Structure formats: C-alpha cells, structure tokens
Structure 1
Amino acid sequence: MKGFIKIIMRYVLSAGGIAIIILLINFILLISWIAYSSKDSNEKYSISEISDKLKRDGNNFILSDDVSSLIKDKFEWAMLLSDDGKVIWSENLPEDVPLSYKVSDIASFSRWYLNDYPIKVWKHPDGLFVLGDKKNSTWKFVIEIPQKVMENSPKWLAAVLIINFITAIFLAFLFGIRFFLYLRKVVNGIENMSEKKPVSLSIKGTFKDLANNINITSKELIRQQKLIEKRDTARNNWITAVSHDIRTPLSMIMGYSSDLEDNSKFSEEDRKQFSVIRFQSEKIKQLVNDLNLAVKLEYEMQPLNMKNFYIAEVLRKVVVEYLNNLCNDKYTINLSISDEAQGFKLNGDIRLFERALNNIIGNSIKHNNEGCDIFIDMTRKFNGCQIEIKDNGSGFDNNVLEKLNFSTEMPNGVSHGLGLFIVKQIITVHGGTIQFRNWENGSDIVIYI
C-alpha cells in the first residue's frame, strides 16, 4: 500500500511540476513573441526619422528618394497637415483619404485608423506628419493599466503560478485516485493469481483489456494447476502403492534366494544362480527406495533432521566405509581436505548428505567395471566450501550431462540418472549447487555448499 501511495504522490507532484513548467514556457513564449513583434515593427523605419527627412524648401517640401521608396515599399502613404487641418504635402495618398480635417477628426484617427488605414502621427515643424500603413496590416488595441497594478505585477504573477500549481495538483490527485482504484484491482488480481487463487476482475475502465487478459490467464493457470496436481497425485499414489506392494514379495524372494544360496544340497552352479537372484532382488529394492526418496524430495515430503555437523567428518566416514568394503584393488579412493575446510560446519541432514556422497562414489564404481581412481578434494571457497569428486573412468554421455545439469524432472532411465538426480535434490534442499561435467576421460562432479 505504501508503494502505491508513493506512486500517486509522484504522479501528482509530476503533474503539478509539468503544469508550472508549461506556464513558464508559455510566459517565455509570450514575451518572446512580443519582443519579436516589436522588433519586426521597428525594422520598418521610425516615423520620427521619416518625418525628419521631410524638409521645407520655400513653398514646397522635399523628401529624399530613399525615404520616398521606403514609404511605398514598407508603408502605404504619408501626408503633412497644417495647423488648420489642410493637407499641405502628401506622398502616394489614396483617393479615399480626405484632404481636410477638423480637430475632432484628427483626434479620432491619430491613435487608431483612418478609413481602415493604420495611422502613425508625429509632430513636424510645419504641422502634423501622418504615416499610413497598409489596410489590415496592424491590429491596434489600447491598454491602460494603473501604475499600482504594474508595481504589484510580480506578486500577481506569483499568485497565478501558485493557483495554477494548486489546481494542477488537485486535478492530478483526483485523476490519480481514480487511476489508483483501477490499478489496485489489477494488482490484487495479479497477487491472487500468483497465489493460485481464482481471479475475476471487472472488465471496464482504463485497464479493461488488461483485466480481461488477467481473467483469461487466471482461468488457464488454474486449469493447468489442476491437471498438474492430478498428474502428480496419480504418480505419487502409483509409486507409493507399487513400492508397498513390491516390498513384501521382494523380501520373500531375497530371503528364500539367500537360504537357497547357502544350502549345500545344491550344486555350485545352482547356488550361483540363487546368488544372482538375490543380487538382482537387492538392486530392485534399492531402486524402489531411490524412487521413493526422489519423489519425497521432489514434493518436499521427506522430513529433514536438521542439525550442525562437520562435512569433513562425514566425508572421511563415507570414504573409510568404501575402502573397507572394496574387495579388489582396481578401485582407489584419494581424499584431500584443506586445513581451512576442516572446521566447516553445515546445518543439514547427515543421513541424506551421506546418501549423496555414497551415490556419487558408488556411481563411479558402478559404471567403471575395469576399475578407476576416484579423487575427492574439499576446500573452502568464499563463505562456503567446495567438494570435487572426479574419476578417470568412462565419464558421462553428453545427453546425460545435459539432463543432469539443466533438467528439473526425474529421469526416465536409471543409468547415470536416478542416483545422481537424488544427489542433485539433496544438495538443493541443503541450499547448495552442483555441476556435472567431464575431465579427460572421466566424470567430474563439483558441489558448492
């Protein structure tokens, strides 16, 4: 809500500021226009200068050729009135202009128009000099402003700016409130949609197109969510049911095959076959357990027993157990832990973390029947630690690497798949990252946690 209030205030203040800027720009343009108009008027030639060029020579008047041309080009005509109102000299005088005037006539046209000709007058030594401009060339309007008003004009200008600013703020506030009310409905709809709640916005107003799109998107998301939930529930129920149904007969197969394997009444060949049955049954059991764990981790159904532990101790324990159980020397495990990493603690589930390490080492052994060397290196890095586990075996296929690094879905196959997918899930729930890659001809797995 505070964010919306800030948006509205910024919107209102911006609108007020824009109004003030527009007023100032208009004022500047008005002053510029007046100055330009005055300049344009002055460019024609001052009437006093023209009047001064008219010289008396006995009973005649002489005007220079350049000024005479100026009157014809820039103005229209000129005349000189004697003190009794008679025209005693003229230049290009139109026919509709009288040759004699009363005092009242002179008073009426001296500041305005004579037969629609804009007039300018100037005192001449021999009378009144009148300069006529072209018809409809100049607009005249008298403005009389008291001196007191002019003295107070800065205050009035400031008052006008303040009133305009307040008006702009008020109007912007009204429009902002309206905008806010529409926008709040849209935002509430988006928030509900993000929480997977149904959305039904009123399709009207400024955001009607957006509201309609949100309604359509909400319906589609809910439909897809139901399909996903239905699929996930069906898959989870199927895996749980199958796992439960398999365990009992599988336990019986493992038990009977173990008894038959140890029974000396059978031949050595028969006992080897019983051993194969038991071994494959154990693999099926492990696969079922892996499948259950993967599903629980994916849907966050696996309870985590979180506590602080030293990763170095867990790593040593897993390596020692593998070294003790390896029955031939074609596999070697080399462990290196830096001094800085010895005391690093992790708040996590020890059992799951051991499972992840076991899966990685077991994967190297499982997929390198000809043997390999396994190298484990633990170092401190930034605020956490890095565990790199690599071997000089056959390495990963490119398709496997792509699925392990970039896919978030459970793999279809189990070769280089489900076990390492569980590793990825375990590292993720502990807040870490994992990268699968190849080096030389072997696999390389880097954990940062």
Structure 2
Amino acid sequence: MIDDSQQTNAFKAADDGPALPLEPWEGPAILLVDLDAFFASVEQLDHPAWRGKPVIVGGDPDKHGVVSTASYEARPFGVRSAMPSSTAHKLCPHAIWTHGHFDRYREMSNKIMDILHAETPHVQQVSIDEAFLDVTPTTVNREHPVYVAQRIQRRVEELGVTCSIGVGTSKTIAKIASDMDKPRGLTVVYPGGERDFLAPLPVRTMSGIGAAAEEKLRSRGIRTLGQLADADLNMLVRVFGKNGRVMHLRANGGDDAPVEDDDTVKSVSNEMTFAVDLTERTDVEAAIATMAAKVGRRLRRKGLAGRTISLRVKFDDLSVRSVQRQLSTPSNDELAYTPLLYQMVDEVWRPGMPLRLIGVGMSGFDDTGAVQEALFDVTEVVPTDDDVEPVVKDDRKRRGLIEATDLVKNRFGETAVRFGHELRNDENTTGSAAKNPADYK
C-alpha cells in the first residue's frame, strides 16, 4: 500500500504530473474503479445548493423503499446503501431525498466508461458505478499502473464527480483495496504484498463470503483472511466444495479470474420491489409478466437468447426463494416463456403469502445447451418447457407482435406501448433502483 506520505504525493502527482518514484511493477496489474457515492454525487453536481448537505437517493420511507446511495454527508448519521428507507429517515430526518434521475446517471456513467476504455480495451463494467481494468505493463507500454490510476482519477474529477481506485495483481485484491480509503482514495498493493495486506482483514471482506459462509468459518476458528489462508485446504473443500479451493487461493493472494470485456454478458435480469406486498395471484402474474417483458426486450437489444430462466421472490419477512428452469431452445421471447414463469411461481409461493419483491432473469447464452451457473440461488432445476403453451401460439404472429412493439418503443420510448399487466402495479413501486449494468446500457 502507499503510506501516508506516498499517498499525499500520489494525489499531487495526479494533479501536477508524476512526482514520486514508484516501486517497479512486475506481473499483472488490475484496477477497480469505484465511483464515490455516485448517484448522490451526480445529484449534488446538478444541484449546487445540495453540496455539503446529506443527500439520499432511494425509495419512499413509507413504501418499503430502499436507499440506493447516500452522500458522504449522510453517512456519519449511519445511513448506508441497501438500508430500508424508513430506517434512513429516522437516522437522518433532515436529509434531502430524491428518487433519482437514472437517465442522467447513465449518461455520466457512459462518459466515465469512455475514459476507462481510452486507457485500455480490457474493461469489465460490473455495475453503473464500478469497473475492473487490466493495465498490465507490456513490452510496448511500460507505464506504471499507479500513474494510470492517478490519471483516471483526475479525468473523472474533471467531470464533477470522484472515484476511489484499488490497484493490485488480481481482481480480488483490487476490489478490496478500492474500499480501503474513500472518497477519492488510491490504495496500491504491490506484487508480493498481497498476503500481508489481506491477513488482518475479516473474512467477510472478500467477495463471495456471505453470512452463512462466515458462520461456518467462525465455527472452525477462522475469522480473518490470514487464518483462512493458513487453514487446511482439504477441510475447506469438504465444507465448501470447489468454492473452498477458490477461497483459500484468494486468501493467499492468488486469483486468476480475468478481466472480461464488457461485451461478455452472463445474465440479464430485472426485479421489482413493491410498496404494498402482493398477495393475489392476479397481481403476482402481472408483475411477473412485466419483469419478463423487460428482460425479453433487453435480450433482443443485446442480440441474445438464453436457455436458463430464473424466478426470484422475496417475502415480507425478507426471506428469499428462487427457482430455475432450462428451456428446450434459447429464447428472448417473453410471450413464450412467461407462462412457464407462471408455473414456476407455484413452487415458491401460494396465494395469500405476502410478496415484497419479484425478479426474473435469463442466462445460459452459450451454444452448448449446458446448465449454466444459477443466476439466483435456486431450489430446483427442471430441464424442459415442452408442456407450456405460449401466450400467442402462432410463432409468426407472436414474433410480429414483439417486433411491432419494439419498433414503437425504439422510436417513442419505453412507455409508448404498455400492456394491461404493466399498468396493474404501476403505482405500487418503491422508487428504489439497483445498479445492474444491464439496466443502464
């Protein structure tokens, strides 16, 4: 890591040009660029009177809303992303609230991604405000990765927002480093220093280790990444399967996951959180149809068709259940796969059970037909949809209807053509938004 004196000089270098000799860099160099409180920062940029004040972008406190982003001025009050809006309102009642302006966020994000692509073709955008870059020095370009990071910070700041960057030899190291110093932080982990950097950190710091995995590790006396690195590999594999091997490798500073180009899409999904829980089947099917249509349209815009359809529901007690099916042929036709989703919901829900969220996703975009890694945590995989009839049976009529609605939406906007099921829950949303990159491209 850059120590305090180096950190100061690094920022100076970002503003005034390279001024600090840096240790030589040998081997892979990965950056994780994380835009600081992005939604709130854009709002403060566009509303000068909001600068220096607590700003919360999210859903309504009285409608099951969730905080999408809180400005750094709101965070000392305990407000955090993904917190229920009702809790955030109690913690910071004087905050400025907004549902957000997502076209504006997408516009700003695209400008920043253009900056990243100008540095390297190897960019993997993981959300609207976060991206990995591979800036490994080559025989042609020997520029130090830290200088690349400093230049990115300067160019992003010229747009009116800031970013924090982690620099390391792998995606795991870069991701953890990017969270160490915010806002406008630059944390560098040099080759060979990975294990010392990771050792004192809690196991939950590492992506992929959730609450359940943390509890299993704690029961075996493993609380830090250093202890995980020293743990018996065979034991980890027995407990976690192949993920145990990955966890052990990453805790020791290793990680060979590549930075995948933005064009590599693994899944397309959409979720809706409701202000008032759904209990009636008519409302649930209407929400499923709405989400399925959004997924289908995004698939067609990307030229994709998937084999694996997933349905996810969240109940009023915040428990989650999911189910997944394999389609007989790849599809991006919601009029064909929506009836299957109606069948799938019966496996995870019964009328009268309050539903707070419904999500639909499609994955499995390769040509092999093999079962893909689950988009959601699934309860079952059933390999056929042959017994399900499409909404419109005639393939030519169904495709014509979809093409016609797509043409109208392309010309006049997404709300130009709307079906009855889309209007049914139109006023029953929370105003919250996710950061799935598919939602912003």
Q: TM-score band, normalised by the shorter chain?
A: under 0.3
TM-score with structure 1 length normalisation? 0.18
TM-score with structure 2 length normalisation? 0.19
Q: Which has the larger radius of gyration?
A: 1
Question: Which one has the bigger helix percentage?
Answer: 1
Between the two structures, name the one with larger relative contact order (CA 8 Å, sep ≥ 6).
2
